[in-house]
Amino acid sequence: MKHQKPETPEFNFTGRRQQAMMLSMVLILVSIVSLFVNGLNFGVDFTGGTIIEVGYKQPVELTSIRTALEKEGYKDAIVQHFGTSRDVMIRLVPREGVSGNDLSAKILKILQGTSSDEVEMRRIEFVGPQVGDELRDQGGIAMIFALIFIMVYIIFRFELRFSLGAVAALVHDVIITVGFFSVTQAVFDLTVLASILAVIGYSLNDTIVVYDRIRENFRKVRKRTSEEIVNISLNQTLSRTLKTSITTLLVLLALFFLGGELIHGFATALIIGIVVGTYSSIYVASSAVLAMNITKEDLMPIAKEGADPKGQV
């Protein structure tokens, strides 16, 4: 008994591209305004500061530690579990005139007063403001170079207008993901930056799959407009796109809820990026190509001189 191929859906993606572009413009505008007004809540990785790791013999609640630190004037302290509920990481912003050793001694004394359990100092690490600035600048430069190399790759793989469309989709994803952290003022640290670079790779992969099908259909499908061919291509790749996104999101949701506070920002950025990246590969990347008036002639193979259309000399 032969298995029937599943029917291709017939959603009118291109017919709704104007509404989708309006939504994207609103999200980008909100993100940019928030970045200018609120900025980003940079973590110790970028601002500099002290990281202190301590261990308890019994599981400890973070609320009591935060309350004790706030009473002693450390309201900006970031307290997280790492590894197990007996291990605690405390991140503190730089304090003028206080050395790392003096600060760690004060923190240890405060922690010992919050619990009858013995507190063991595991690690003390100081990140200077200059190092933080360098990490922030180098991270931004890495993102820019990634977009440039992606653009060059797609020019050779497809065509210039496809390259511009792909980069527009990636910039769209990065701005909205970063904008989310600006609007919510969630901590933006190196793990979040790493997740944004991962989002670029994920979104690019999804966009290339869509572009491959668009190029193939432009060469194969006859008597259809560019909008219709793009719409057919999006419907044909929809199943693959949704399956990939949903399975990835299931893993990320597990990390978000069960992975602990240490990777909370990393998982959050990836969840936002995957959702936005899936949306952009369907609407932004394809709409950008249509806006640049891509045609069948642009994607047809260049026939060699002296060859007939079937490739026979």
**Distance (Å, rounded) from C-alpha 164 to C-alpha 149?**
12
Q: What is the mean pLDDT of each run of 10 residues along the chain (313 residues)?
A: 62 89 96 94 80 88 88 84 84 73 83 82 77 74 82 81 88 94 90 89 89 88 86 92 93 88 88 94 90 75 52 40
Structural domain spans, the chain: 14-39+131-299, 49-127
Structure tokens at 273: 């990026």
| pTM for this entry | 0.81
Tell which residue, 25, 23, 22, 28, has the closest CA to residue 178: 28
Fold classification of 49-127 (topology level):
Alpha-Beta Plaits (3.30.70)
Quote the CA–CA distance of 145 and 135 in Å, as a whole number.
15
- Check residue 213 and give its pLDDT: 92
Beta-bridge mates of residue 102? none
Domain 14-39+131-299 classified CATH 3.40.50.620? no
Mean pLDDT (the chain, rounded):
84
Residues 6+ apart with CB under 8 A from 266: 191, 192, 194, 195, 255
Q: In this predicted structure, what is the pLDDT of residue 132?
A: 64
Pairing state of beta strands 187-188 and 41-42? parallel
